[in-house]
Amino acid sequence: MKDLEELREEIDTIDKQLVALFEKRMEAVLDVAKYKIKNSIPILNAEREKQVIEKNIRILKNKEFSNAVEDFFKSVMSISRNLEAHNMPDDKNIGKQSNIENFEPKIEDNVKIEADKTQTKSTLFGLIGEKLGHSISPAIHSKLYKILGMNAVYELFEIEKKKLEVNFKALIANGVKGLNVTIPYKVDIIKYLDEISVEADKIGAVNTICFKNGKVIGHNTDYHGFGKMLEKNNIPVKNKKIVVLGAGGAAKAVIQYFIDNNAKDILLVSRDKKKAAENFKGTKIIDYDELKALEQGDVIVNCTPCGMYPKTEISPVDENCIGKFSSAVDLIYNPKETLFLKYAKEKGIKAVNGLYMLVGQAIAAEELWNDSTIDENIVDKIYQELL
């Protein structure tokens, strides 16, 4: 058997060849970018990327490396797309925004489809919920389509409670390629799906729907967005003492994330312990008086709507309580600094709002819809623009 030194030398030689080939590939990518600019072709071609992965897995001698090769090409193509995007002049970078030609909605009248039907047919994504006037999701997704040069449009579909099923099915019949789901349908939508992902199943709520191989599949990307936000802000979870405020839908994804990432102690704070216990089986639940008696914790997360615009003058807990923690996270992103986060800053502890989570969950949904990975720099860029 070769010794470690020899093995390392062998790897160094292979790396040299890899770098030379990588450089060649990036030069070819720049030529592709020029061609795309000239011919107004969008950067992302999910079908082509899928074929590249399949083709390269086919030529593998050792099929045990199939998953690794898939990951490798996803990264290489993500880097390539990023390079293409950086080399597009701004106006070409935009790609062709929206819209839907020949889109004949068979949808009930109450679903708003505000697409301008004058341009070429593009891929339709969207958000379903009851009241969506406040949503900034179209802005996030449009920024992504602009960066990637995708010919896609993201619409808001307001649906009345009693018409959820008929309108959801009509959207599918009209060829929608992916949907996000928000209040109050994250649980109700599950009964119309063929499958749900492991994390959505554990959380009991779906915020993203994909259509794959004739199946309607639900996921929960709030979970991923929350995780990305903690990672971005260097907030460790493992073995930490966590307090989550508010036993609602968002808390479900947040608590599941903490469980899956080995938090030591998770306390859920609710105004109604009995009701919370029914929805959060196996979670320790306390009320706000009991929280006052807590001596110390690591992370406190506000999953209540307290402090959200327009009622910005309230906080779910006071500054003495927040001062017992090392980090305070508020899922609210409007305003950027809630009273809860203002208290945290005054106490000199880390204060993080929910905007990165919002962008993170949106990008995670796009990755699922387009079967691709999106560079973290793009998440950061969109986040910075929204800030």
- Rule CB under 6 A: which residues touch ligand NAP? 183, 222, 225, 246-251, 270-272, 276, 303-306, 308, 316, 331-333, 354, 357-358, 361
- Smallest gap from Cβ 243 to ligand NAP, in A, equals 13
Q: What angle do CA 55, 61, 66 make, to 5 degrees?
A: 55
- Smallest gap from Cβ 304 to ligand NAP, in A, equals 3
Q: Specify the residue, 105 or 248, whose C-beta has the smaller distance to ligand NAP.
A: 248
CB contact at 8 A, 92 and 137: no
Q: Specify the residue, 106 or 274, whose C-beta has the smaller distance to ligand NAP.
A: 274
Binding residue ranges for shikimate: 135-137, 182, 207, 222, 333, 361
- Smallest gap from Cβ 115 to ligand NAP, in A, equals 25
Residue type, 283: T
- Smallest gap from Cβ 252 to ligand NAP, in A, equals 8
Rounded Cα distance between 171 and 76, Å, is 34
Whether 112 is catalytic is: no
Q: What's the 3-state SS for 309-377?
A: CCCCCCCCCCHHHHCCCCEEEECCCCCCCCHHHHHHHHCCCEEECCHHHHHHHHHHHHHHHHCCCCCHH
- Smallest gap from Cβ 224 to ligand NAP, in A, equals 11
Q: Specify the residue, 43 or 374, whose C-beta has the smaller distance to ligand NAP.
A: 374
Catalytic one of 186, 241, 252, 324:
186
Residues in contact with 35: Cβ distance below 8 Å, sequence separation at least 6, in sequence order: 41
Q: Specify the residue, 166 or 314, whose C-beta has the smaller distance to ligand NAP.
A: 314
- Smallest gap from Cβ 21 to ligand NAP, in A, equals 40
Please report, for residues 133, 325, 328, 360, the alpha-carbon distance to residue 226 in angstroms, rounded to integers and kept in the order given.
Answer: 23, 19, 13, 7
Binding residue ranges: 135-137, 182, 207, 222, 246-250, 331, 333, 354, 361
CB contact at 8 A, 271 and 288: yes
Q: Specify the residue, 36 or 143, whose C-beta has the smaller distance to ligand NAP.
A: 143
Minimal CB distance residue for ligand NAP: 248
Q: For residue 236, is the peptide bond before it cis, meaning its omega torsion is within 30 degrees of 0?
A: no
CA atoms within 13 A on the CB side of 296: 2
CB contact at 8 A, 49 and 372: yes
Residues in contact with 145: Cβ distance below 8 Å, sequence separation at least 6, in sequence order: 95, 97, 151, 152, 153, 154
Q: Specify the residue, 251 or 368, whose C-beta has the smaller distance to ligand NAP.
A: 251
Rounded Cα distance between 378 and 144, Å, is 8
**Crossing angle for the helix pair 66-86 and 137-148, to the nearest 10 degrees:** 90
User: Which residues are part of the catalytic machinery?
Assistant: 186
